[in-house]
Structure 1
Amino acid sequence: MIGVAPPAYDPAAPQSATTLPVGTPATVRDYVRELLRRHRTAFAVLMAVNATAVIASMVGPQLLGGLVEDLAAGERDLHIGRAVALFAVALAVQTAFVRMVRLRGAMLGERMLADLREDFLVRSVGLPPSVLERAGTGDLLSRITTDIDRLANAMREAVPQLAIGVVWTVLLLGALTVTAPPLGLAVLIALPVLVIGCRWYFRRAPSAYRSEAAGYAAVASSLTETVDAGRTIEAQRLGDRRTALSERRIREWTAWERYTLWLRSVLFPVINVTYSLITGSVLMIGGAFVLHGSMTVGELTTGALLAQMLVEPVGLILRWYDELQVAQVSLARLVGVREIEPDSADDTVAPGGREVRADEVRFGYRADSDVLHGVTMRVRPGTRLALVGPSGAGKSTLGRLLAGIYAPRTGTVTLGDAELARMPAERVREHVALVNQEHHVFVGSLRDNLLLARTSARDTELWAALSAVDADGWARALEDGLDTEVGSGGLALTPAQAQQIALARLVLADPHTLVLDEATSLLDPRAARHLERSLGRVLEGRTVVAIAHRLHTAHDADLIAVVEQGRISELGSHDELVAAGGAYAALWRSWHQ
């Protein structure tokens, strides 16, 4: 068979540091075995019910073969009425059990799919924050939507149907061998054609389907990024460039789509040829044995009918095995999160104080390029530290290290002499909280959104938290108050209101150290100033690391760190830095001009 060359780009799924990993075949097999162990009872019942249905389906060929045998022997009393009655009973049993097979197969598939969704969600939520930050939303979104959708049909249909097809084929081959052993040669004649064709196909299909899935993920990621950054793209006149990028990725994806379609267009004719070979070989070989007296006409009739019945289960296996090639890729992408090593954490590590220190910290998002270079700083408990500097200087990165989101490449970040990188994420969140300009309103009531921070909070505490961030005014004006449904399908909140909810969660969480990364950026300057003053009363006595471009935040801070090119170039109070006449003084003058 002559194949065509696949598209001229890397067929491997993305495996770079900026995407989540794809599961290895060993990981996929381990997970499939785990699923089967969980549902072994339901799977065993499905096989038993299916075997009963298949055995019942064999009654018809056996009865017909017996009638033909009696007729060939000259029998006049053929007992046709009894044969019809037995066939009717067998057909009724087969119908009932086939219905049970389909019902139990669908139920098993749905349960396995539910387990898969739950496992992926639980594992994704438990991923280290640094992994999710680096991977971005496009890859994770394509896995939890597109890959789940692709797997849905496979889990509901392919797995149960494939198991049914295997049992069906094995029982039919066994019956054929018992009824007329020479007719087994017919299967052997067709087998090489089927094996060669399937081997050719399945050597190419997995990598092609993997590349097709990766291509779609790239398309989804490009479109998501373009929509999210639409205003920036328009302002920078990048529309043509983004359109060209999307079109290129769509071309690459559709090229792989065409290639996988071509593979199927070769496989299916091979399968049809196999069917014809099986039927033709049975009739020719069986006819030769009948002529030589080694086989009766009745045995040939039964064997021919059983061989014809093989067409459906073999087609079922090949059809759903091909479906599983697509599903296997999606499954590998979903279980790939199981290969991510959890953060090296020690439950025994606990902070012995509240002082935050960074000692000779170096960090980069790529191994060959550091963003922070030897940063050393000390933040005493209750200090309000402001990180200022030009965009891209490393302020947000430093804030994430101080919040325990990232671990430094070299050096240490400690809280009370305990390394944040060695502490479990849950324990870090008990002491340090990060609030940035990104926010999310979950589907549910306003109360549910607030209780995420502290599930035991009473309504009076929820209203106090909303009041602390100046959100109680619009919240009390809602018709259902805290029971108002918000998020998708509910009340549409403005970005500023969503940010106030995020800050109210912060008040409820009550951490002693806060990292605020432009946490009031979505409010207008006057509202932001008023909110910061309100928060100032609530956050009295806490350690606060504030990252902002609005220098009035720095003016109110106890300590200011100027970050330039990944280093702290100045450190001191507002008055000290203005008097020094350095970078901060220049920023302050430009702010007031």
Structure 2
Amino acid sequence: MTPEQTDTPVTTLPVADARRTRAEILRRLRAHRRRLGAALLTLLGGTAATLATPPVLGGIVDAVSEGAGRGRVPALGIALVAATAVGAVLVYAGGRMLVALVQEVLAELREDVFETAVHLPVNTLESSGSSDVVSRVTRDVEAVSEAASDVLPEVTNASFTIGLSLVGLAVLDLRLALAGLLCLPVHVYATRQFLRRSHRVYGDIRRLESARGQSVIEAVRGAESIRAYRTQDHHLDDLAERSVRAIERQRDGVGLRNRFTGLLNAAEFLGLAAVLVTGFALFGSGAVTLGAATAAALYFHRLFGPVGALLGSLDDIQRATVGLSRLVGITDLDRHHVRHEEPAQGSGRTDEAQGSGRRPDIDVKGVSYAYDGGRPALREVSLHVPAGTSLALVGASGSGKSTLARLVAGIGTPDRGSVTVGSAEAPGAPAARYLVTQEVHLFGGTLADNLRLARPDAGDEQLRHALREAGAGWALDLDAGLDTVLGAGGSPLDDGSVQHLALARVLLADPPVVVLDEATAESGPQTRALLQGALARVTAGRTSVVVAHRLEQARQADRVLVLRGGEVAEQGTHDELLAAGGEYAALWAAYHRARPGGGAPVSP
């Protein structure tokens, strides 16, 4: 997070409403309607075969009570075994078919969500909190996946079982079916009460868990600052407060589920008692046989499991629905806008930039920018960077350097004014721009994998040449050279070395415009000279904007722009600004005095 954004209010990414979520899932399922139809027909056939057992058992009761011949009972027994076996096979096969289909659809959704998430503009991620994105592509996907694998086949089978059981009861005697429906008002009341509150409760739980995760992420990222300012207790109290709110809302969810389950159990026993009493009365009057009354009781008793599964699964379905709404909310973001708003940050390359030889100029005219309506980070900033020259941005922390650099790089659009690179308005042609920030990140994989992020088709010799050109030949001396595994479980690299690799990637990408936001900030005494040399090679012959971490970088630039409170304080060449005796001259004098101690950075 840049200094200008530390007080930015956190907003959440969009969440699709129920209608939009339903429409998106139906759209994806329609693409596989034949497989879906085959799976549902198989499940229906299996359920029908399984539900043949109550009337067969009723037939056995009638056969025994009537003293029928020995041949009838064994025949009914064989029919019972056959119906059970066929039903089990078909239900299993249909469930497998349905799970395979739904998992495939979910995999497509997951890929779309991830693809959109990784292309989200940095401003969007920073304003929403990275934990929001992380929770969506992890916990929400997990909730939907579990529901798809475990709940959906069970719910589908339960729905078929309930429908066919009610038909079976009606065939035996309509009065028995009506008696069974006595439990329906209780079921309806319990379901409506649960649905009315659970969606809101589960949505709150997801948001509170995301906020708690964001607190942890921010504390880990800022651990050094937290220790330096001795604010550990403050951050622990903040985490505890967010955790308590999440736990209290989770407790509300548990209470909802417990009340819902209790009402379901009451409804089941009420319905079964009504069927038994009605069956006894009808049998006493001779309206039905003992076998029919038995079959009716068995039919209704078989409803206990499916009804409980169907209504009990509403808990999982609600969690999955909330997760789907959050996932669809991300896929609904304008991908065209996302894809073309932001250039690759220290890891990308485009055919337009590669080897084009074009060195555009940069024009910034009257640019103002504020983060989510907060305090303006930039006010009426104007500058011009001629093609093939370099501009250094200088100023104290919070002066707007990083904000201006990102706008020049094509990340975000100004609230007022314009940023033009060559003949195209930002963010219309981000392909020509390449950003390297002070935030170091080592990607999992080999050294070659990390380098090819900038140019996937680069050969090994091109990778070696880029490393040597950037002065990072030390990387080739690692144990396995380009095949050395970096990161967790591999060879560790310090932050300065990771920044050095990021600068080597710029040479591979060969963009006409490069923006460096304190790209050598993590260098220590041993890597400082190497990174300074790499910085000079990266900017040579390119139109470049450099957020100066040390004033030595500003002296080497063609022009210098000094920012103060989001406004341009001074601009000119290094010598011109020294001669003017203004703010830059004062900074240079302070820097020069501190230099024997190792060279003080511009920003405290």
TM-score, normalising length: structure 1? 0.91
Residue 545 of structure 1: SS of its match in structure 2?
strand
Matched residues in 2 for 1:274 and 1:492: separation? 62
Q: Where does residue 398 of structure 2 map in the other structure? A: 392
2:423 to 417, 420, 434: 417
Distance 1:526 1:561, change over 3 A: farther
Distance 2:261 2:583 in 1: 71
CA offsets 1:396-432 (integer angstroms, 9 cap, x no match): 00000000001001111111232113x1xxx41x311
Identify if the C-alpha distance between structure 1 residues 488 and 161 changes in structure 2 by more than 3 Å, giving closer, same or farther: farther
Preserved CA contact (<8 Å) 1:363 1:409 = yes
Structure 1 distance, partners of 2:575, 2:46, is 87
- Work out whether residues 559 and 574 of structure 2, in 8 Å CA contact, stay in contact via their aligned partners in 1: yes
Q: Whole-Å Cα distance in 2 between the matches of residues 481 and 275 of structure 1?
A: 69
Counterpart for residue 457 of structure 1: 458
1:484 matched to which residue of 2? 484
Q: Secondary structure at the match of 2:364?
A: strand
Q: 2:158 is matched with which residue: 152, 165, 170?
A: 165
CA distance in 2, matches of 1:24, 1:136: 21
Partner of 1:34: 27
1:2-13 equivalent positions in 2, closer than 5 A: none
Aligned to 1:21: 14
Do the aligned partners of 2:179 and 2:275 also contact (CA within 8 Å) in 1? Answer: yes
**CA 1:276–1:537: 2 relative to 1, 3 Å:** closer
Measure how far apart 1:105 and its partner are.
4.0
TM-aligned CA distance change 1:300 to 1:40, over 3 Å: same
* Counterpart Cα distance in 1 of 2:282 and 2:365: 89
Distance 1:177 1:159, change over 3 A: same
- Aligned twin of 2:506: 506
**CA distance in structure 1 between the partners assigned to 2:222 and 2:86 by the alignment:** 61
C-alpha contact (below 8 Å) 2:129/2:214 kept by paired residues = no
**Cα displacement string for residues 51-95 of structure 1 (whole angstroms, at most 9, x for unaligned residues):** 122122122211121233344555455611111111122222123
Mean Cα displacement is larger for which, 323-332 or 99-108?
A: 99-108
SS across alignment from 1:520: coil
CA-based RMSD: 2.2
Which of the residues 264, 289, 302 maps onto 1:296?
A: 289
Q: CA distance change for structure 1 residues 516 and 234 in 2, over 3 Å: closer, same or farther?
A: same
Do the aligned residues in 2 keep the contact of 1:23 with 1:332 (CA within 8 Å)? yes
Partner-residue secondary structure (3-state), 1:371:
strand
Q: 1:378 is matched by which residue type in structure 2?
A: H
Percent identity, aligned pairs only?
Answer: 36
Distance 1:481 1:288 in 2: 87
How far off is 1:194 after superposition?
0.9
Residue 589, structure 1, aligned to residue 582, structure 2: no
Matching residue of 1:138 = 131
Q: TM-score, normalised by structure 2?
A: 0.90
The reply on whether 1:375 has 2:351 as its aligned counterpart is: no
CA distance in 1 between counterparts of 2:530 and 2:72 reads 98
Aligned partner of residue 408 in structure 1, secondary structure: coil
Deviation at 1:471, TM superposition (A): 1.8
CA offset at residue 359 of structure 1? 0.9
Q: Deviations over 1:233-287 (max 9, x none)?
A: 0110110100100000010000001111111111111000111012111111222
Match of 1:182 in 2: 175
- Give the Cα separation in 2 of the matches to 1:491 and 1:319: 50
Query: How far 1:50 moved relative to its partner?
Result: 1.5
Partner of 1:518: 518
Distance across 2 between alignment mates of 1:517 and 1:36: 45
Q: Which residue of 2 aligns with 1:572?
A: 572
Residue aligned with 2:255, SS? helix
Q: Label 1:330 to 1:345 Cα distance change in 2 as closer, same or farther (>3 A).
A: closer
SS class of match (2:288): coil
Tell me the matched-pair count.
570
Measure how far apart 1:370 and its partner are.
Answer: 1.8
Distance (Å, rounded) in 1 between the aligned partners of 2:238 and 2:361: 47
Out of 251, 261, 266, the position equivalent to 1:268 is 261
Q: Which residue of 1 aligns with 2:343?
A: none
Map 1:33-112; keep pairs closer than 5 Å: 33-73=26-66, 75-76=68-69, 79-112=72-105
Corresponding letter in the other structure for 1:167 = F
Matches within 5 A, 1:146-295: 146-295=139-288
SS at match of 2:514: strand
Residue 304 of structure 2: aligned partner: 311
Distance in 2 (alpha carbons) for counterparts of 1:74 and 1:86: 19
Q: How does 1:469-480 map to 2 (within 5 A)?
A: 469-473=470-474, 475-480=475-480
Give 4+ residue runs of structure 1 displaced > 4 Å after superposition: 71-74, 342-347, 350-353
Contact 1:108/1:156 (8 A) holds in 2:
no
Task: Determine if contact 1:578/1:585 at 8 Å carries over to the other structure.
Answer: yes
The letter of the residue matching 2:198 is A
Give the match's secondary structure for 1:360: strand
The alpha carbon displacement at 1:109 in A equals 4.2
Moved more, 224-233 or 283-292: 283-292
Indicate whether 1:359 and 2:360 are aligned.
no
- Asked if 1:119 is matched to 2:112, the reply is yes
Task: Tell me if 1:404 matches 2:405.
Answer: no
SS of alignment partner, residue 527 of structure 2: helix
- Whichever residue aligns with residue 515 of structure 1, its letter is V
State the shift of 1:515 in Å.
0.6
Letter in 2 for 1:86: A
Relative distance call for 1:538 and 1:515 in structure 2 (3 A) is closer
Distance 1:149 1:280 in 2: 40
Distance 1:117 1:174 in 2: 40
Aligned to 1:503, what secondary structure does the other structure show? helix
**Equivalent in 329, 340, 344 of residue 336 of structure 1:** 329
Give the alignment of 1:534-549 within 5 angstroms.
Answer: 534-549=534-549
Measure how far apart 1:368 and its partner are. 4.7
Cα distance in 2 for partners of 1:465, 1:32 equals 46
When residues 260 and 345 of structure 1 are mapped into structure 2, their CA distance, relative to the original with a 3 A threshold, is closer
Aligned to 1:13: none
CA 1:537 to 1:116, structure 2 compared with 1: closer, same or farther past 3 Å?
closer
Partner Cα separation in structure 2 for residue 283 and residue 497 of structure 1: 79
Structure 2 residue runs of 5 or longer lacking an equivalent are: 1-8, 341-351, 594-604
For residues 293 and 580 of structure 2, the distance between their equivalents in structure 1, rounded to whole angstroms, comes to 104
In the aligned structure 2, how far is the partner of 1:316 from the partner of 1:223? 37
Letter in 2 for 1:572: G
- Matched position secondary structure for 2:129: helix
CA contact (8 A) 1:142 1:217 kept: yes
